Structures are given as C-alpha cells and as structure tokens.
Amino acid sequence: MKSIYKISLILLLTAVGSSCKKYLDIENPSTISLKATFESTSNTNTAILGIYNVLPGDNGITKEGMVWALSTDEFKTSGSYSAQDRRGISMYGANFENGELEGGYKQLYTGIERANLCIKGISNSPLYADGATSKVLMGKYLSEALTLRSLLYFILVRNWGSVVAQWEPSSDTPVWDVPVTAGTAILDRLLDDLATAEKLMPLKNDQFSGAKSEEFTSTRWTRGAIKGLRARIALFRGGYMMNKETHTMERSSDYKKYYQIAYNECKALLDDRTYNNLNPVYENIFKSLHTATRFDAENELMFEVGAFGAGSRTDTKLGYYNGIRFNTASRFGQGGGGMTAIATYFYEFDQIGDCRRDVTIGSYEIDGNGQKVMNTLNNMTDAKFRKSWTNIYGTTQTLAVNWPVLRFADILLMFAEADNELNGAPTILAQNALLEVRQRAFKDHLDLIPAIPTDYTGFFEAIVKERLLEFGGEAIRKYDLIRWNLMGAKFAETRVKLRALMDGTGVYVNIPKYVYSKPAAYNIVSSQQEFATLDTYGGSPSVTLFQPGQGTSSAPTGYTTKNWRASINEEYITGPSTGFATYFESNKKEVFPFNQNILLYNTKITQNFGY
C-alpha cells in the first residue's frame, strides 16, 4: 500500500518554452515520450501513480488537514499569531505573503497538470480504443485521472472560491494568463467528470485481466469512493459559496438538485455494502492508518492518502507535527503538539458514553520517562494520529501515517442530511443512518444515545453536532461550516461557551478550576482505557473533570496542579496573539487570499475581497 510512492515518476512529461515560470509548470522532458507512455498499460499505471504522488508531502493535501482547515470549534493551531505562517491561517488573519498558502496551491496544480496529461494520453491511446481487455484497464486509469483531478480542484475551490480552471495540458494551452472561473462552474464540471469516472471504474479486480489486487485498496480510487467524493462535492455545491463579484456567501436557487445527487450516490452505497461498511470499532479506523497491519476489514476507509516515510516529498508528517505530544527524551522520541483542541470541544462529548472523545482529543501527553501526564485544558491536542501507534520511534519526522480522505461514516451522515433537506424532515432511513453512527459511538452505553429528532430543524442541528463529534481533526468541519454558512454563528457561539467555561457558569458550573494529577503508566491500550487510568486526585477523570473539586491551586501531597478552567482567559478567547479565530470576518475570510507570487505568475487573477 505504501510502496507505490517509491516509484520514480518521470513519465508524464513534455517540454514547451516559456518566458516566465508559472505555477502551472510544464515538467521536464521524459526519457519516454507521451505517445509511448500511453501505448503500454504498465507505463500508464506509472503515470497515474505520478498523480497520486502529489497527494502526500509537505505541500500535499495533508496541508489542508494540518493547516488550511484550522480553526473551527474543534481544533486550532498551537502557538502565537503571525500573518505570514500557519498561525495566521488558524486565526483567519493570513495575508497575501503567507508562505503556507503558496506551496500547497502550486502542488495542487502540479497534480492537475499530470492528470490533464493522463486524461489526454489515455483518451487518445489505441489501447483505450481497441475494445479488448486493455480498454477496461485503460478505462480504470482514465477514471482515476478524472477523479484525482476532481479532488485537487475541489480542494482549490473550497479554499479559494473561484480559481483558474484548465482542463487541457499546458502544452495545448496557448494563453496561460487567464481569469479565474467561478467555483460553482468548476464544481459542476467535476460532478459531470465523476459521473463518467464512476462508469469507467470496474467494481472489483476480477472484472478484467491485468489489474493487480493491490490497485483496489483504499489508497487508490474505487467506484464506491468515487461515488462518495461526488456526493461530498454535490453537498458543497448545494451549499453556500463565496461569490467573487458580490463578495457574499450565496446559495444557488436550484441547490436541492445537488442534494439529490448526494442522496442518490449515498443511497446506492448504503443499499450495497459489499465493499464498504462501518467499522464496528471507532479507534481501529485510525490505528489502521499507522502501520501495514489493518484493523478495518469492513473498509470504512474508502480513500486515504498513502504515505511512505522516506522524506518530505512522500510522507505526511502526521503524528510528528500533530497528534498526541511526546517528549523528546521518551522512548518514542519527539512528536505531536502542532494542533490543540478548543477547550469546549472536550465537553461536547457525552461524559462517559461517547468513545470518540478519547480517540479524538489528547487529554494527556507523554513525558521523558514514557509516562502519560495530564494536559491542561487549554493545551490538549488532537489524538487520531499518534507516534506510539506506528513502528517508527526516534528522531525521524516521517512516520508513514496515511491521511483519511473519505470514510463510510460520512456516507451515512451525508445521506441523512440530504434526505432531511429534500423531504423537509428526516425519513426513517435518515433517522436510522444517524442512529447507526451513534450506536457505534455509544456501543458500550447504548442507553445514553440521544434521541433522534424527527423535525427538519432539530434533525439538521443534530447532523451539525454529529459531524463535529465524528470527524474531529479530519479537515471536514471547516468546509461543513462554510457550506452551511455557519462559520460566523458557530464562532460566536463558541466564544460564548468559552466565557461560560472560564467563569464556571451555565452547563459548565461543575467543571473544576484545577485538577490534580501525577504521571501514570502509558500502556498503549484502547483510548478509553488510557483515559480512565489517568491518575487524578479524587478518583477517575470521568468524575474529577466533571465536578468542582477542591478549587485551590495548592495540590495534595504527591500530585501536581493542572490548570483546568483556570487555563482559560480572555486572551485565549479573543486575544490578538492566541485567541480563537480572532480575525474572522463573515463574507470575507471564508476563502484565502492568493499568495503574492501567484498574482505575479498570472496577472489576470484578482485578489480575493478583503486581502
């Protein structure tokens, strides 16, 4: 699964002179011509891997998960504000000089250029036209190229709104300095392309000869994953998007037709679960991303970015940059801490019933002795990526942890949302889809599952909450809030909650100001067990973190004081240095600015409003 990224990618290449280097670079000449490349199924496969190869790396699409998708009411970037780095992005105060917005943007277009070359090459290949078994295999490769291009454009649109759309190789494009295309028009094209890609992708590897079974893993596109991506794009297209002309978040009047597309795609996947289903153990989804040993026989992971821990171009840095924090002196080596949980997020989960909390949030870190030590409330991390779940310890930053792009749980929740929108209230099918996700989350406490609303508004609000709990740290929440046009409202709501938490009022009246803890053994057992065996004064943390406690900063003998509510102050909430989404402005900061170098490369691009 991880070895496909070792292949040298020198196939997709052509050369055309240019007086100015562009962000749509034409790549260097190949030792194999384009014509020869696509007259061989083996060479075509390698060319397709060249597109996949842009997904990992320091500028790969995992940048969206670890930088671009922050902050929301789940996680933010650690550290203090600077307009020119990742912290500026996290606080919605990035400027057009921000370096975190250039490399990833350019790499997305590198992948699009490679995909355009493959789409043209396969479409013109005699192997695709001959009608024999090679046509089916070449059709699969064409399907992958169309889908990869769709994913890359989708990431561009949801982060920048309207962007330059190029559907042909750069060598066939006479003019490069062209204006942006409306994001809505790009997404419409992607939906059409993915409908074609679905038909071209075989259901399974025994439908034709010549394909290897490893090509049908979750690190390569399958028909089910393509349908899921099409549903996700349809919901985004049916939601609110930035209109570059009016500088306003707007929704198309015919938005329900896009919800219908999402409904149809998800319904087909729910009706036939032969290839993908819900993993019965939530934690096992994420453990499967960390090693070659899989704990996902149900294939809930429908598509993931494969990582090969050999360097910055092929790895993801997951577990090193983010995830649970590991002390350099520990047996694991340094890792984690680049993302921190919004303090209120911990209390969005049920106190004892929801198993997702302790998988998603790192309430502890690992000290120099390899023991787990309680974090303060303002310094908890994301936890779905952990160095200790890999087999790679020490000083390396590359841990070969895959990035999850699409899970079957999203199919269930997208279906439920679309059903509710189309029918004005959830049908029993939508209610059951939501219930199925909750039953896994509360699998040991089914009696604590919240009631499923049966009205439109109540059910929509339940979906908004469920997606917060289910997909924390997976670069989904921000784009949900964008398409629902709820960013401003949710950020304001979160600040109200944070102040109540700071003051110990409302639903937070019993939350302690201080917690007293001592190091405890880190056994690398289930996340719920690991949390339950934290050593806090007064009993289990499931109790001590939900009752007032002693209320003094003086710790009992043998324990260390951990600021809990006391760690939250006004700087944490609205401060200019570390505040929560301090610089967000509705109808402006839902999209990023174009980096200044991008504007130099293409003089027809106009800067997004407000930057």
- Does the residue 170 lie in any domain? no
- Does the residue 270 lie in any domain? no
- Does the residue 346 lie in any domain? yes
Distance CA 479, CA 487 (A): 9
- Does the residue 369 lie in any domain? yes
- Does the residue 185 lie in any domain? no
Amino acid type, 213: S
Respond yes or no on whether the N-terminal peptide bond of residue 71 is cis (omega within 30° of 0): yes
- Does the residue 130 lie in any domain? no
- Does the residue 102 lie in any domain? no
Residue that has been written with the tokens 């324990």 in this structure? 559
pLDDT for residue 215: 52
Amino acid type, 73: D
514-518 and 364-366 beta bridge pairing: unpaired
Query: Do the Cβ atoms of 350 and 333 come closer than 8 Å?
Result: no
Distance CA 130, CA 568 (A): 67
Query: What does the CA dihedral 200, 205, 210, 212 come to, rounded to 10 degrees?
Result: 120
Averages of pLDDT over runs of 10 residues in the chain (611 residues) are: 34 32 45 84 96 96 94 97 96 96 97 98 95 90 98 98 96 90 98 98 63 64 97 98 95 98 98 96 98 95 92 93 97 96 98 97 98 98 97 93 98 99 98 98 97 98 98 98 98 98 98 98 97 97 96 96 98 98 98 97 95 94
- Does the residue 218 lie in any domain? no
pTM above 0.75, yes or no: yes
Q: 151: part of which helix (H) or strand (E)?
A: helix 133-160
CA angle 127, 138, 272 (to 5 degrees): 145
What total of structural domains would you count in the chain? 1
- Beta bridge partners, 562, equal 515
pLDDT for residue 16: 28
Distance CA 365, CA 338 (A): 13
Query: Do the Cβ atoms of 221 and 148 come closer than 8 Å?
Result: yes
pLDDT for residue 205: 56
Residues 6 or more apart whose Cβ sits within 8 Å of residue 43: 11, 32, 36, 37
**Domain ranges, residue 560:** 318-397+486-580
Per-residue DSSP letter, 6: G
Q: What is the CA radius of gyration of the chain?
A: 24
Distance CA 416, CA 428 (A): 10
CA dist 174 to 16, 18, 24, 169, Å?
A: 11, 11, 13, 10
